[in-house]
Structure 1
């Protein structure tokens, strides 16, 4: 932009506004003004006069919220949806690891594009992908994920995962699907050096993410934590997902998962764990004391019969909690919107019953809660002046929602709402329900072809 040239502003007005700020400020009839990549104004009634070039959106019948933030996913699993549908976690992993061990760069590229497209069209503006399967000779898998996010227009935290404990060492994955300790650490550091952006408004960030206690050596956990802190990036892994994992950790390490994480340097404000279903009061206290975050994945937890996470108790203790889709091999919908509804409903089946979560708390989990878990709540997760303009305009006047007076309740409890507009850094990613940068039909065809190719390779053992 030349000096003196005005920034074009986007004015969204005549709509309900859920800011999800610290006070849960809402406007039944309000406006949002976007200047460049950031929010300039939010308030009640019509927008104030805006000088210079402006695009106005009359959003009657809509609700505007912050963009949804997905804190845990496995994009590559898009190619193995609908398999092992009646298995608990360990049996499910044993069934699918031999298939996943055959992935390559074209498969990961296609799966990432499909996963991101599905999320973006459903209001996700930031996604975390935990990719930990790196078969030898498979190509640049991390690069494939980063390029797919760039092309889709969605912010990405790539949690560069790793596994070095194969079957011969007591782990679950096949030996040919794991890396050595040195290979995993070197490749993770290379991904940080190549892709991590620590600047304000970053589109791509990297986290250090060994897969789980049952697929990773203790040395990889310890050295992974040291690498992350030396590089100034976040740490991510799976934790306390099932009762079987608890038993595994006691048998192998002589302690439960949370104590093991503490022993290996994996508790802290720079850490978030996926699932955390089987947590004692002492575990919750340790997470609260250290500021360790949680990615709550209610649909996947139910799909794998893992149990009900103690989300109400986590929030009461001050633990950062966001929502996660998890991989689409254990949550075939691939959408985060469904997790708002399922988080509320599933947690009401627990001991807190109807007081477990309400609709505003569910929306917070999916927005500013997720931003906090990813360490980005200063610039993402709420509609406030100065924050990045990552927002979603949901249509609420159709048959599916028009008779629900409370738009937030309609969004959380109702059917998936159509997305009229989704912005990432002020740039449209979705308009009128259509992806701006993605040919959805072409991605669907490619995903079907790559899923078939993966199935053939796995069936042939090739």
Structure 2
């Protein structure tokens, strides 16, 4: 057992009382937090590592609720497209991914998430070209190497273009293949224990790329195996029009009829939910992954986060795929969530603490992990982000939470995941970032070359 004492920093706990300490401490024993409080931490604990955190702010590690890691090697393409045009441009390129490509992409994306304060992330992987290898295992290997807590979802598409869907036929699978692969992923990787670093979810892609039969059968499988469900929904006006034309109803009514509302479900984006839909989400306990940067990048609109939260909907933040959010900084999502909400709803729409809450406890709740992560409390897993706020960028900002959310991105002094350091002094621990960057660049060039695209 190892003990770490972090002392001298401001502490935002996100506990039920939303306790904050202007100067406080955190004690970690092995994987869990054993003490959080005001003033200096205990001294002379045998074998303890002491961290002088003067000038820093401690928060729970951030939780990313929506991502597509494989897209890290296809950033910067179709930069001015809408969602449907963007997808049509990129599907032929993504059809060339393989196990090595995904491992490299996931390593780069996960490494950067860690550098932006993220301790837990999900991934929604839904492109499985024939003969590409074990893509989900490649992501799991990358998450273990970087050291992040991970909830990959086995995504799927079975509605190709010839049947009225958006994706090309050569990147979709049949239902039997999807169900077998999803069950296999859960059986191989899912760890439901309290100390888990790895859980699995099931995630058909979207109403315009999967059939109703697939949605229904995957929901039945996931609930039989007690894992969570995820999909894209109500991201764009185009999607709403697709559902109306094809199914004669709104996106929320479509998935509701297929069993896709409930406390074990979370939906990515949710930009175009009306009052009735928001009420349905709140009543059912269905969560939403808000992705403000990606929504803005693709011109999709601004999610009604204030209304969702007021209705009791669990809301977390997501960077979304790196190909629709080249920054892929979870901390930046906090800032954008607050600013975009205020741009359309006034200065009271979201506070800086609302934004931080969505990125921590809110995200943990969306992923079903709130009992063990998302706040700094004794007994919870030791996922701690320590942000340096005493440099030129922030030294005169009175409120440390405002400094973190509204100020320039601060250096990340330390990131602990399950009590183990993943980032120290704004660099990955035990990983050569330059080597990762070289691998990513090589994978990008190889993938684009296979697709006949000039790099």
State whether TM-score is above 0.5: yes
Q: Give the 3 Å change call, closer, same or farther, for CA 50–291 of structure 1 in structure 2.
A: farther
Instruction: Kindly report the root-mean-square deviation, in angstroms, between the aligned alpha carbons of the 2 structures.
Output: 1.1
Match of 2:156 among 149, 152, 162: 162
Q: Does 1:324 align with 2:318?
A: yes
Say if 2:437 is the partner of 1:430: no
Question: 1:49: how far off?
Answer: 4.6
| Residue 394 (str. 1) matches residue 379 (str. 2) | no
CA distance in 1, matches of 2:44, 2:273: 51
Matched, 1:70 2:78: no
**1:180-214 CA-partner distances (Å, limit 9, x unpaired):** 11101110110000000001111111000000000
Q: Does the alignment pair 1:38 with 2:38?
A: no
Q: 1:50 to 1:230 in 2, by over 3 A?
A: farther
Q: 1:444 aligns with which of 429, 437, 440?
A: 437
d(CA) in 2 for partners of 1:460, 1:113 = 23
Residue in structure 1 matched with residue 268 of structure 2 by the alignment: 274
Q: Structure 1 pair 460/68, CA: closer, same or farther in 2 (3 Å)? A: closer
Unmatched 5+ residue regions in structure 1?
1-6
Please give the alpha-carbon distance, in whole angstroms, between the structure 1 residues aligned to 2:265 and 2:335.
26
Deviation at 1:434, TM superposition (A): 1.4
Q: 1:54-69 alignment to 2 at 5 Å?
A: 54-69=48-63
CA contact (8 A) 1:151 1:437 kept: no
- Map of 1:282-297 to 2, 5 A cutoff? 282-297=276-291
* Number of equivalent positions: 454
What are the within-5 Å matches in structure 2 for residues 331-410 of structure 1?
A: 331-350=325-344, 352-410=345-403
What residue is the counterpart of 2:100 in the other structure? Answer: 106
In the aligned structure 2, how far is the partner of 1:414 from the partner of 1:227? 45
Q: Say whether the 8 Å CA contact 1:235–1:270 is kept in structure 2.
A: yes
- Structure 1 residue matching 2:299: 3-state secondary structure: coil
Return 5+ residue gaps in structure 2 as ranges: none
Q: For residues 165 and 57 of structure 1, what CA distance do their matches in structure 2 show?
A: 53
Residues 266 and 427 of structure 1: CA distance in aligned 2, closer, same or farther (over 3 Å): same
Deviations 1:15-68 (A, max 9, x none): 100101122210101000001100000000011356422111111100000000
Aligned-pair distance for 1:87?
0.8
Alignment of 1:169-208 (within 5 A): 169-208=163-202
> Deviation digits for residues 345-378 of structure 1, max 9, x if unmatched?
111111x211110110000000000000000001
Equivalent of residue 307 in structure 1, options 301, 312, 336: 301
Separation of aligned partners in 1, 2:18 and 2:395 = 23
Question: Are the counterparts in 2 of residues 71 and 322 from structure 1 also a CA contact under 8 Å?
Answer: yes
> Could you tell me whether the CA contact under 8 Å between 1:8 and 1:52 is conserved in 2?
no
CA contact 1:221–1:264 (8 Å) conserved in 2: yes
Q: For the residues of structure 2 that align with 1:284 and 1:14, how far apart are their CA atoms?
A: 42
What's the counterpart of residue 224 of structure 2? 230
1:417 aligns with: 410
Normalization by structure 1: what TM-score?
A: 0.97
Q: Structure 1: how far apart are the matches of 2:159 and 2:376?
A: 44
Deviations 1:161-183 (A, max 9, x none): 00001111111111111111110
Q: How far apart in 1 are the matches of 2:58 and 2:74?
A: 34
- Picking from 111, 117, 120, the partner of 1:117 is 111
Give the 3-state SS of the residue equivalent to 1:367 in structure 2: helix
**1:261/1:267 contact within 8 Å kept:** yes
**1:138 pairs with 2:138:** no
TM-superposed CA distance for 1:392, in Å, is 0.7
State the Cα distance separating 1:460 from its structure 2 match: 7.2
C-alpha distance in 2 between matches for 1:264 and 1:255: 13
Q: What stretches of structure 1 move > 2 A for 4+ residues in a row?
A: 48-52
Correspondence for 2:5: 11
SS of structure 2 residue aligned to 1:288: helix
State how far apart, in whole Å, the 1-side matches of 2:2 and 2:103 are: 34
Task: State whether structure 2 residue 47 is matched by structure 1 residue 53.
Answer: yes
Looking at structure 1, the residues matched to 80 and 115 of structure 2 have their Cα atoms a distance apart, in angstroms, of: 29
* Contact residue 98 and residue 173 of structure 1 kept, 8 A: no
Which residue of the partner structure matches residue 89 of structure 1?
Answer: 83
CA contact (8 A) 1:300 1:326 kept: yes
Deviations 1:201-246 (A, max 9, x none): 1111100000000000110000000000000000000000011101
Output the CA distance in 2 between the equivalents of 1:53 and 1:268: 46
The correspondence for 1:215, drawn from 186, 209, 212, is: 209
